[in-house]
């Protein structure tokens, strides 16, 4: 499966997580890269494992429904870090937003389609998936 198709499906699932009435999680910043994803998330209930498993489960089912030949969509593990201040949240948000630029995929964060920088555009296009 081409990486850009998988990115669209993942972004579609992320768009559901950032809906104002979703109520379970708050995404501060996120970016979907060709081979990994960065999320800066505050789960409402404080249970990051549940939030990540839900994201992986929902997007994995959607991807496998479209591409049944795939054996695995997600790596079973993930990296987590507890941030304790607004300054840390800001620092890590900037890192996430700048990740496509740092990896030479684009010249500025606004040019990378699959990130929270372009969240409004993604939500408008989510119904076309």
Taking the chain, what is the end-to-end CA distance rounded to the nearest angstrom? 16
pLDDT of residue 36: 81
H or E stretch including 41? strand 37-43
- CB-CB contact of 50 with 43 (8 Å): yes
CA 69 to chain centre: 23
pLDDT in tens, 76-117: 888 888 888 999 999 999 999 999 999 999 999 999 888 888
Contact present, 99 and 109 (Cβ < 8 Å): no
Contact between residue 94 and residue 12 where contact means Cβ atoms under 8 Å apart: no
Give the global pTM. 0.72
Task: Return the ∠ at Cα 103 (arms to 125 and 112), rounded to 5°.
Answer: 15
**What does the pLDDT look like over 31-51, one tens digit per residue?**
888 778 888 888 777 778 887
**What CATH number is given for 3-128 in this structure?**
3.30.70.1290
- Return d(Cα 34, Cα 123) in angstroms, integer: 20
The full set of domain ranges for the chain reads: 3-128
Residue 112 DSSP symbol: -
């Amino acid at each position: 499966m081409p990486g850009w198709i998988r990115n669209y499906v993942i972004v579609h699932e992320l768009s559901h997580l950032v809906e104002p009435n979703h109520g379970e999680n708050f995404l501060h910043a996120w970016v979907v890269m060709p081979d990994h994803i960065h999320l800066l998330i505050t789960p409402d209930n404080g249970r990051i494992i549940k939030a990540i498993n839900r994201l992986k489960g929902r997007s994995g089912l959607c991807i496998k429904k479209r591409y049944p030949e795939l054996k695995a969509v997600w790596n079973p593990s993930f990296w987590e870090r507890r941030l304790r201040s607004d300054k840390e949240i800001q620092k890590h948000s900037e890192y996430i937003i700048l990740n496509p630029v740092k990896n030479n995929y684009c010249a500025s964060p606004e040019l990378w389609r699959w990130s929270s920088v372009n969240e409004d555009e993604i939500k408008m296009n989510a119904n076309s998936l």
